Structure 1
């Protein structure tokens, strides 16, 4: 045998190579047997293979992100209360005005005369009542006649109040401080009661309205901080100051309003904005949105592997999504998430696992 090998030196080289390969392979097996498998049991042959990654829950700030509409804090459309002509435009539209400042004047016509006539009538009635009371004290005037004069005096005073009110309606004043935003009439126009004259808005602070789903409204509280992101990237800070008591019958969502200070009176009313409502800290997992899937009921969820190496599907709540990943709640604090092969296995199915990044 030895003589045969000596005559064929290439056989010796082949034998040494095979021996070295067997030795290395046995060492690799021993090393693999002694290496921990990150709490997952050893795989069984013949089972589907999936790749998993251990994820730990992390604290994150829970928030709801909804689209909203920026509105003035107050907006009023002032209308004519009388029939009259526009005789003066006291302020230009677009200008800031103080509360009580006159904005527009209507013609008084004969209203001043009516006020004077009513004032004279009241004075006459007051004199008649005073004289009747003195006569009544001496039993020279009947009680019924005194009652009639009192009634006529009350009627005269009511007519005077009405005449003065009609006169006051000729002066259109600002009910609150704001911006003279729009005017619907011009000098010389004849207006009727109920006709729109001008619009006044208060933008010293703003409100951002939005609709929030019925599943999320229970997590909201008045006074919660809210971040308002404008379309140009600017951000404003506000607080939640209104939550509707009843849902909209059509959408089943609730109207909310966020109060936003606007000390510089920026012209933002009417624009769109994104609301980020902080609702407290919670434990959540950050993962790729590509790992989310739907179950038969249409719920968002992810697949993971339990201690028995069986596939589990857990519905999750999507807390936030951005270009880098998604935050979800509803998983165990530590979970072996299936990152490769989840589309080929079903919940309850036993699988073989391999940690992400391991050499095949």
Structure 2
């Protein structure tokens, strides 16, 4: 059967040859008039006319809208999280067994409310003892003060006698032995005054030491009651009844959720746009919308990410916002000119650059041209872009069917996003 395949191949080759190389002869044999050939390189063809005016070029019809720039409030967009404005783990400052019933996590507590009470042990007896010592020391203090007063009076009397004896000896009415005796009395009186004053200082020291012991014991007794430092929510149970707490052991964790903080990290390229007091909006992953103001902007960058911590305070009266939720944050910044355009007007050039095509003035009339844009914000009314002239005729229909330099036939329309 191989010879049959060769025959078929030869017949097909002959037919192809006749259709390509002898096409006119085949058409005449079949009674068909061949069409006039189209000549390339500017020769006349049945479809063109050499007398057609040069300026009558074929234009592509597109729809354009005139867009004018407007100043909008730009925003710094961040991904952040919620964070309790206060969170503290209250710890024991003394050692002892817990004698109070525990409070369960989730309970609301007020500032100063008792969280944990520790057994005072022998502190009450120690306090009574130190108070008794203080009372005894204070009782001896007037005696020491009286001794000082008496010694000072004797010193004054001795000094008076010494001055009198000195004047008498100058007039020859007293002997030198009497003067020596009065001087000795003055020295002795001074010594007694110093001794009395030393006794008074010792008594005062004893009183101060006793008062310090009382204060220390009272402070130690105060440490047996652990109270909430501020109004908030218990994040953990308080220590169980009978638990032995040592100094530094946790009693409970209290958090304050109203107001709530939003924490984000601003890149160094946008940190100049953020200022304390700037308004901010946020959306939680649950869809909850939040508004607040910037309360803190770090002056020191994170050494690893080169970002700056920013905190925003938002109200949370119903405690619906939880600590640690993810939030998309937008912080208002100074305004900048932008165009509001329909999203369908955006296109890409051959290099993948995002932009729009607009009607530019050419030699023979309007022609298509590409302009790159910077995307700013997406809104229900359209998208805000920057990088365009103050006024530009944007192609909103047909931009995908033209390239740079293509002549255009413009049709204007009233567009709801034109400004």
Aligned to 1:262: 316
Tell me if structure 2 keeps the 8 A contact 1:53–1:355.
no
Residue in 2 that maps onto 1:89: 101
Considering fraction of residues, name the structure with more helix: 2
Give, in whole Å, the separation in 1 of the partners of 2:73 and 2:263.
22
Q: Which residue of 2 aligns with 1:332?
A: 389
2:130 to 82, 107, 118: 118
Return the offset for 1:253.
0.7
* Contact 2:102-2:239 at 8 Å conserved across structures: no
- Distance in 1 (alpha carbons) for counterparts of 2:58 and 2:244: 99
- Aligned match of 1:68: 80
Q: Identify if the C-alpha distance between structure 1 residues 225 and 172 changes in structure 2 by more than 3 Å, giving closer, same or farther.
A: same
Equivalent residues of 2:373, 2:385 under 8 A apart? no
Paired residues, number: 309
How far off is 1:31 after superposition?
11
Change (3 A) 1:293 1:265: farther
Asked whether the 8 Å contact 1:304–1:335 carries over to 2, the reply is no
Asked if structure 2 preserves the Cα contact closer than 8 Å seen for 1:85 and 1:191, the reply is yes
Number of the residue aligned with 2:205? 151
1:219 pairs with one of 260, 268, 273:
273
Return the index of the structure with the highest Cα Rg.
Answer: 2
**More strand as a share of residues:** 1
Residues 153 and 217 (structure 1), Cα distance of their counterparts in 2 relative to 1, 3 Å cut = same
TM-score normalised to structure 2 length: 0.63
Per-residue deviation, residues 56-103 of structure 1 (Å, max 9, x unmatched): 323333112211211122111101111111111264332212111112
Q: Which runs of 5+ in 1 are unaligned?
A: 1-20, 39-50, 345-350
- Match of residue 301 from structure 2: 247
Find the counterpart in structure 1 of residue 259 from structure 2: 205
Deviation per residue, 1:218-272 (Å, 9 max, x gap): 1122222211212221212211111112111111111111111112232522211
After TM superposition, the structure 1 = structure 2 runs for residues 189-200 of structure 1, keeping only pairs within 5 Å, are: 189-200=243-254
Give the CA RMSD over aligned residues.
Answer: 3.9
Q: Distance in 1 between matches of 2:349 and 2:90?
A: 55
- How far is the alpha carbon of 1:145 from its aligned partner? 2.4
- Alignment match, 1:352: 405
- Kindly indicate whether residue 56 of structure 2 is the aligned counterpart of residue 29 of structure 1: yes
| Residues 118 and 303 of structure 1: CA distance in aligned 2, closer, same or farther (over 3 Å) | same
Does the CA-based 8 Å contact 2:236-2:253 persist in structure 1?
yes
Partner of 1:14: none
Cα offsets for 1:293-334 (capped at 9, x unmatched): 899xxxx87587876899887684x43347986533343323
Question: In 2, distance between residues paired with 1:291 and 1:250?
Answer: 37
Other-structure match for 1:185: 239
Give the Cα–Cα distance (whole angstroms) in 2 for the partners of residues 121 and 57 of structure 1: 86
Identify if the C-alpha distance between structure 1 residues 293 and 202 changes in structure 2 by more than 3 Å, giving closer, same or farther: farther
Q: 125, 130, 141: which is aligned to 2:142?
A: 130
